[in-house]
Structure 1
Amino acid sequence: MQNFNSYTKQKWNSLYPADINPISSEQLDRLKAFNDQIDVTDVQQVYLPLVYLLNLTVNSQRQAEITRAEFLQEQPPHIPFIVGISGSVAVGKSTTARLLQYLCETLLPNRKTQSLTTDGFLYPNQVLKQRGLLASKGFPASYDMPALIEFLKQVKSGAQQVQAPVYSHQSYDIIPDQHVTINNPDILILEGINTLQLPADQNVFISDFTDFSIYIDADTSLIKQWYLNRFQQLRKTAFTDPNNYFNQYAKYDLETALMMAVKTWKTINLPNLERYILPTRPRANLIIHKGEQHRIDRLYLRQY
């Protein structure tokens, strides 16, 4: 990665050393995924400098918008600053998104921050079944990319209210007639495996709409381990609900259930990672690399 500067966690922290502790261990536990081992030290050493960098970047963009508006003799628009978060399944994207939103709301109280997952733009299961794509859910073709692109266009046009569909991990499907509303925030955190991908039938990247993109990275062997660990925990918790789409896995013995999870990894998650997710990593502005137990060990900041 010749166009990235590499930083250890300690070096990254030295760029913005801060004594403040904006989050308690209890609050962090509520924000992070149950298989994520991030701790308060990571927040101080990694995420506080990141929020500081994001704030500087937002300020720079706002100034550019004001300068352009002055030249055009117009009122400067209020355009949301979009932070894209990408990476494999089970790597910690959701934790990063929730934590960033919390820190932005806490440390940048004058800036309105909202977050959204691209899961809401998956086609409904009925459509996926009709197209023979249900077994490939999560692959690029399973997303309604025109709808996602149109959503981002509206957000970037400064629309006061833009609605997005809502996805349920409980039902493994889009919730009919339910939407989340994005209200022209200062910062929009967009999380999903496809935030850096180029749709096959579109002439525009999702990343064309993002102002700062983050890729959560880890060795593939670790991601597989985290995926299987998460599966085993879900099998003992969420999957036990009879209304959960994956309730069947709680009924099998552990060995059988794990064999099915490994098959899912090999046939869906691993190919999706290798073909469509990992190749987008060089497009990110920042790569956060994790080692054992989700511990962040290195960061890569793009130069150009």
Structure 2
Amino acid sequence: MTSGNQIHSALYLAFQRSQWAELRESVPLTLSEPELADLKGINEKLSLTEVTDIYLPLSRLLNLIVGSRQKSGVVLNEFLSRTPPKRPYIISIAGSVAVGKSTTARILQALLSQWPEHPRVDLVTTDGFLYPLAELKRRGLLQRKGFPESYDMKMLVEFISNIKAGNPYVEAPLYSHVSYDRITDQHQAIEQPDILIIEGLNVLQTGQDAAVGIQQPFVSDFVDFSVYVDAQEQLLKKWYIDRFLQFRGGAFSDEKSYFHHYSKLNDAEARHTAANIWDSINGPNLKLNIEPTRDRAHLILQKGDDHLMSQVLLRK
């Protein structure tokens, strides 16, 4: 478990890796090694075994839940003699920087789309809803990028409420990790998918986290099932530093990159810089805003060394 707040174990059923893997039953593996390689995040040692043991049982669980929701909706609408708009089932993926949320989201998208009951699964990240760089600078929030106040929550909630209402066409903003900014001339089109996966640092936040007296909807108000990807902070910091070193020789080497100046650092300088960024930004954000929302998740995926899942906690 993480080194911060302990999980309220009474809320969850705990499964060791081997126990969880047994719940896969006869679900077939539909991803090949090359397809899996395309889904991996930076520096993640993800194998087909990890997909088979962890993600296939989760895919089966979600398929059963979505199917149950679809059946209950049919009964209700038959009773009311109405044809409702198509409303996607919404799954959120939360967790710290460098924990592997994006890889988890992409694998679930690939696996869930193989089920015939819900072939269209879209994935949106909340990065696009960060305020543009110019606005972050104007508000003095550049060093708090990723904290809740750095997101355009009005825009994000409006987006997800339109999705939940069954609107036939909704646009999501896109984000560039090269320019470190929102892309202004492109959008992601969301057109009534069967399932929408939304991935981000703060998607489990609720009104409990807002200032006293503030009444407003949150992303979590629209989510049907939530997943938190968890790991000890010392592992998260190590993974962040390792990823920073890989970016230094990769994405940062692009002259258009906002972080191009980091590409000139030697190993010692790069490690020191990454550790400082973690200690001043990502670590505090984890402790103050992200980890405190963990117990709200329907399911917690706990990682150990090498990004491998060690335990799965399922809310009772």
TM-score (ref. length: structure 2)? 0.92
Quote the Cα distance in structure 1 between the aligned partners of 2:155 and 2:220. Answer: 15
Quote the Cα distance in structure 2 between the aligned partners of 1:288 and 1:67. Answer: 33
Q: CA deviation at 1:5?
A: 0.2
Match of 1:74 among 79, 82, 85: 82
1:241 counterpart residue number: 254
2:92 counterpart residue number: 84
Unaligned residue ranges in structure 2 (runs of 5+): 1-8
Unaligned residue ranges in structure 1 (runs of 5+): none
Matched position secondary structure for 2:112: helix
Task: Deviation per CA, 1:55-103: give whole Å up to 9, x if none.
Answer: 1111111122223323332114311001100000000000011111111
Matches within 5 A, 1:270-285: 270-285=283-298
Task: Deviation per CA, 1:196-240: give whole Å up to 9, x if none.
Answer: 013635532311111110000001110000000000011111111
Match of 1:120 among 128, 135, 144: 128
Matches within 5 A, 1:126-141: 126-141=134-149
1:9 counterpart residue number: 17
Matches within 5 A, 1:292-303: 292-303=305-316
Task: Report % sequence identity.
Answer: 47
Quote the Cα distance in structure 2 between the aligned partners of 1:109 and 1:36. Answer: 31
2:186 counterpart residue number: 178
The answer to whether the 8 Å contact 1:82/1:187 transfers is yes
The answer to whether the 8 Å contact 1:65/1:76 transfers is no
Q: CA deviation at 1:27?
A: 1.5
Q: CA deviation at 1:195?
A: 1.0
Give the count of matched residue pairs: 303
Quote the Cα distance in structure 2 between the aligned partners of 1:265 and 1:110. Answer: 39
1:227 counterpart residue number: 240
Quote the Cα distance in structure 1 between the aligned partners of 2:166 and 2:269. Answer: 51
Q: CA deviation at 1:112?
A: 1.0
1:161 counterpart residue number: 169
Matched position secondary structure for 1:297: strand
Quote the Cα distance in structure 1 between the aligned partners of 2:275 and 2:229. Answer: 22
The answer to whether the 8 Å contact 2:67/2:117 transfers is no
Quote the Cα distance in structure 2 between the aligned partners of 1:128 and 1:202. Answer: 24
TM-score (ref. length: structure 1)? 0.96
1:203 aligns with 2:211: no
Matched position secondary structure for 1:245: coil
Quote the Cα distance in structure 1 between the aligned partners of 2:285 and 2:105. Answer: 21
